[in-house]
Structure 1
Amino acid sequence: MGRADHDKKTDPKTTCKCGSSCLGPMTFHPRAVGDMICLSEGGRRAERIEDTFKGGVVFTSRPVRTYEKIRLLVEKHVPHWQGALRVGFTNVNPSARSLPLPPFSMPNLTQTSGHWAMPVHESYCQETSVLEFWVTYSGNICVKFQNSGKQRLVANVDVRKPLWAMIDVYGQTCSVLLLGSKTKGFLFKKTSCPGPEPPIRRPSTFSLENTTLSESSDDRTSCLNMEIPADGYCVVCMVRQNDITLPCGHRCLCNHCTPRVLAQFGTCPLCRLVISPPPVMWT
């Protein structure tokens, strides 16, 4: 069977109507996910809880082609673990997998038939890093780093059968976002269905130079499940203007309530993003 015939055979059947230049959606499989993974952003984000380094295996929801370059954004990492992201491919359909998944792609899955993976060095998995990975016709796994060349693993991937991409959100890597995929055809380039722009995930620390906190204040913070008032007032006191923008992007607290909310809850009142207060003493 020729290469073109193989690619046609592995094309997923989707309801995509983008045209002949579309490869179909690029999302994570909704069911075959590690025990510590939470999917969001329409199945494009895979986030592992931070208090463990394992249980982060995920797969693409559709088969991928040879030389289909999968783009991945590293959104979040923590320094207290060793090792980082692992990427690879499998011939095993994610829909046919039994749960729970093994805690590691390497060696748990790579020691079994139909699985191939390679580790990505920690230095290439810092927050906001973007990488591409793909499998060649000869079965090698390639990873290209943003402005840093590429690496290749002679993996002998079986490209005669359908392949799903396999990603292990491991170690220091806590959250990744699928940015899509692309491949070159004979006449034009093909890409996956366009997704929404990736959200800007700001660092979880910031400065509050003009905030004050009085320990004797009678102000009380209430439940964090709130909505932004239409009149632009603080969601806590409902009196002062919401003039503080948190790292998550929500402008929902006033200058007076922000230090108390961070000290008492440590999260955004709206989206629950964990926010580390700056290393200063509140007075």
Structure 2
Amino acid sequence: MRNDISLPSNHSMQFHLTHGTAIQLTEGQTLATRRNDTFCDGIVFFSQPIQVNQKVCVELGCTTSWSGSVRIGVTTIDPARLHADQLPKFAYPDWIHKEEFWIRVINESLTSQGCRLMVYINSNGELLLFVNGNHKGSLLYGLPIQQRLWLLLDIYGNTLSAKILIPGK
């Protein structure tokens, strides 16, 4: 299946109902918050496959109680086929050797309370990262853009929440 399907113009991005056991979804499934008493079990998926050149933006909520930062990745597995009890405590390193997952750790120095991360997959199969509007490079290479890809976050460590925003707002 190709990754060039059109989304309706009224489509709004949300988090999928399949998520880590420490996550609570609110604000119409656009805010994912991890319990503060743990630094893990914070995996969330986006509800729809990401399209080539579709910009996805999140605003992070952070704490100084833990160390480490959000992980970003994609998967060819439809989150509807997964259950919360099947998800690992950590996307990284647990999924880095699985062929259906591509995961990268975002350096803690790039994240802080209120920072905005924007990503998109280009036509070369690279996942590009922008932090507060500044390009930080390609996180992932060689993504199979001919397949459907779901964006995922691991709200880990000092990252407590992710709020989906409309890019450019």
TM-score, normalised with respect to structure 1? 0.55
Q: Is the 8 A contact 1:114 1:158 kept in 2?
A: no
Q: Which moved more, 1:163-172 or 1:114-123?
A: 114-123
Q: Identity over the aligned pairs, expressed in percent?
A: 27
Aligned with 1:27 (options 1, 7, 14) = 14
Aligned partners of 1:123 and 1:86: how far apart in 2? 13
SS in 2 for 1:71: strand
Q: Is the 8 A contact 1:77 1:172 kept in 2?
A: yes
* 2:78 maps to amino acid: N
Aligned partners of 2:133 and 2:140: how far apart in 1? 23
Report the equivalent of 1:61.
Answer: 47
Where do 5+ consecutive residues of structure 1 fail to align?
17-21, 183-196, 198-283
Q: Please list the CA deviations of residues 169-209 of structure 1 after superposition, one character each: whole Å capped at 9, or x if unmatched.
A: 01100011000358xxxxxxxxxxxxxx9xxxxxxxxxxxx
Q: Is the 8 A contact 2:58 2:165 kept in 1?
A: yes
Higher RCO (CA-CA < 8 Å; seq separation 6+) = 2
Where do 5+ consecutive residues of structure 2 fail to align?
none
Report the equivalent of 1:165.
Answer: 151
Q: Please list the CA deviations of residues 63-83 of structure 1 after superposition, one character each: whole Å capped at 9, or x if unmatched.
A: 110111101101x21213221
SS in 2 for 1:108: coil
Counterparts of 1:138-217 in structure 2 under 5 Å?
138-181=124-167
Aligned partners of 1:23 and 1:165: how far apart in 2? 20
Residue 78 (1) aligns with residue 63 (2): yes
Cα pair distance change 1:73/1:95, threshold 3 Å: same
Structure index of larger Rg: 1
Structure with the higher strand share, 1 or 2: 2
1:154 Cα deviation (Å)? 4.0
TM-score, normalised with respect to structure 2? 0.90
What value does the CA root-mean-square deviation take over the aligned residues?
A: 2.1
Aligned partners of 1:34 and 1:167: how far apart in 2? 10
Aligned partners of 1:113 and 1:147: how far apart in 2? 31
Q: How many residues align?
A: 168
Q: Is the 8 A contact 1:116 1:155 kept in 2?
A: no
Report the equivalent of 2:4.
Answer: 7
Q: Please list the CA deviations of residues 211-240 of structure 1 after superposition, one character each: whole Å capped at 9, or x if unmatched.
A: xxxxxxxxxxxxxxxxxxxxxxxxxxxxxx
Would you identify which runs of 4 or more consecutive aligned residues in structure 1 move more than 4 Å? Answer: none
Q: Please list the CA deviations of residues 94-114 of structure 1 after superposition, one character each: whole Å capped at 9, or x if unmatched.
A: 001133111111121222121
Residue 129 (1) aligns with residue 115 (2): yes
